[in-house]
Structure 1
Amino acid sequence: MSSSHSTRPRPAWLFPEYAPAGIDLGSKAAVAAYDRNQGTDPAADDALLDRLKVGEGSRLVDLACGTGSLVVQAARRGAQAHGVDVSEEMLAFARARAESFGVAPQWHRAGFLDYDHRTEPADVLTTKSALHQLPDFFKQQALLNAAGMLRPGGTFYLWDVVFSFEPVTADTQVQRWIDTAGRPEGEGFTRADFEAHVREEFSTYTWIMEGMLDRAGFDIVSRATPRLTHAAFHCLRR
């Protein structure tokens, strides 16, 4: 099971991705709790991979792959799968998951901003619940980097905390989300986790995200906002 570290130069002004904001995921216990709280579900991963037409021989890159469930499911169906994350603990968890299923994706310790995809361009690029860790200026740079990894016509799928409510209602909508989404400790992400997300991380609005996707060279095929706090974008690289 191969792995690599980013060797791309990191200028002094680059955002410090290797010290991400929000929940501390620097221990094995924290990563295991994160995997549990995320509600990892191989069936949901397979449904997404079916939608994105990932199969035997497909080249997939999952940026900020976390505990690796999507990458592992892609590898199980014969894809050339790459998982990219800044966290050594996340990648260790992902490697163990892959080994338990007898597959060998390629793992890379790198971030949105410095991952250098040095093999054939990807057919499918995904990122879920992670781009919000970058301020908007750096989100745009990350999306440009992502577009460079994809073949023309390749698929980009983004799922994240992205706000589709009107800014004038932000106080009410954010408080409603925190009040309804928070779970007791040990049963999911807590109220304090969501408060920290809004306070310390960098979720943005759908209209800003749409503009950044366009400027990065993506055409949005479909968008979904199942909640006013979350959005999915299915895009093609121009």
Structure 2
Amino acid sequence: MPRSDTTHPRPAWYFPEYAPVGVDLGSKAAVAVYDRNQGTDPHADDALLDRLGVTEDTHLVDLACGTGSLVVQAARRGAVAHGVDVSEEMLAFAQARADRFGVAPHWHRTGFLDYAHRGPLADVVTTKSALHQLPDFWKQQALLNAAGMLRPGGAFYLWDVIFSFEPAGAETHLRQWIDAASRPDGEGFTRADFEAHVRDEFSTYNWIIEGMLQRAGFDIVSCAFPRPTHAEFHCRRR
């Protein structure tokens, strides 16, 4: 079962990362819908794991692992895989997925800011579609934490809603993204989901993320911007 990781009490000004941001995923039904809408694809997970060099005995940490597909695929190839998430329901879904495949990753109910990695430093740390849940100040703290759990030369991978358009064109690009990506209820993320993301969550610009990565101790090996609203960064720990 997922382990509840606790740390020392936080000061009153600390970010409440265990409170829902955006859409509340605190129920089994909501998590199942999220997994469907995300389009979980083990083949895509395996392609990413190949790119990151994850093989047997690789130590991998997936921060904000959600429903656990990447962690389970890593465990299936013999990696020592850790899935970290603040949501009990997400981790229960992930545990059920691991049980179906007969693997036993390590699950941790904690967050970007609180997770304290134990044992050997990780070879690979990943986070997908989740760092936007933190305001920029706290993104930097999360990246510092990620760097601290990664061995020198280890890989850090980030995929998220990250804006590469010029700020003056924000309204146009956001409208185009919401119009193109929205799906009817039951067929994917809806217009209301994307509107809530822009309004209530904390996606930021690529040039801000690049500076944060560098200040956290990462060298950016490659980056890609498949859409003006999304980006991936593949980094190495200095």
Quote the offset at 1:151 in angstroms: 0.2
The CA distance in 2 between the partners of 1:132 and 1:60, in whole Å, is 21
Deviating more after overlay: 38-47 vs 18-27: 18-27
**Alignment deviations for residues 54-108 of structure 1 (CA, whole Å, 9 cap, x no partner):** 0100000000000000000000000000000000000000000000000000000
Q: Does the CA-based 8 Å contact 1:85-1:109 persist in structure 2?
A: yes
The CA distance in 2 between the partners of 1:193 and 1:174, in whole Å, is 13
Name 1:171's counterpart in structure 2.
171
Q: What secondary structure does 2:94 align onto?
A: helix
Name 1:143's counterpart in structure 2.
143
Q: Does the CA-based 8 Å contact 2:182-2:194 persist in structure 1?
A: yes
Name 1:232's counterpart in structure 2.
232
Name 1:30's counterpart in structure 2.
30
Q: What secondary structure does 1:162 align onto?
A: strand
**Alignment deviations for residues 88-133 of structure 1 (CA, whole Å, 9 cap, x no partner):** 0000000000000000000000000010001110000000000000
Report matched runs for 1:59-138 at 5 Å.
Answer: 59-138=59-138
Q: What secondary structure does 1:93 align onto?
A: helix
The CA distance in 2 between the partners of 1:105 and 1:93, in whole Å, is 13
Distance 1:145 1:18, change over 3 A: same
The CA distance in 2 between the partners of 1:10 and 1:40, in whole Å, is 34
Q: Does 1:162 align with 2:158?
A: no
Q: Does the CA-based 8 Å contact 1:123-1:150 persist in structure 2?
A: yes
Q: What secondary structure does 1:154 align onto?
A: strand
Quote the offset at 1:8 in angstroms: 4.2
Name 2:187's counterpart in structure 1.
187
**Alignment deviations for residues 198-220 of structure 1 (CA, whole Å, 9 cap, x no partner):** 00000000000000000000000
Quote the offset at 1:7 in angstroms: 2.5
The CA distance in 1 between the partners of 2:128 and 2:56, in whole Å, is 22
Amino acid across the alignment from 2:174: V
Q: What secondary structure does 2:235 align onto?
A: strand
Amino acid across the alignment from 1:25: L
Identical amino acids, percent of aligned pairs: 80
The CA distance in 2 between the partners of 1:225 and 1:60, in whole Å, is 24
Q: Unaligned 5+ residue runs, structure 1?
A: none
Name 2:198's counterpart in structure 1.
198
The CA distance in 1 between the partners of 2:37 and 2:148, in whole Å, is 32
Amino acid across the alignment from 2:40: T
Q: Does the CA-based 8 Å contact 2:221-2:234 persist in structure 1?
A: yes
Amino acid across the alignment from 1:107: W
TM-score, normalised via structure 1 length:
0.98
Quote the offset at 1:13 in angstroms: 1.3
Name 1:58's counterpart in structure 2.
58
Amino acid across the alignment from 2:212: M
TM-score, normalised via structure 2 length:
0.98
Name 2:45's counterpart in structure 1.
45
Quote the offset at 1:2 in angstroms: 6.2
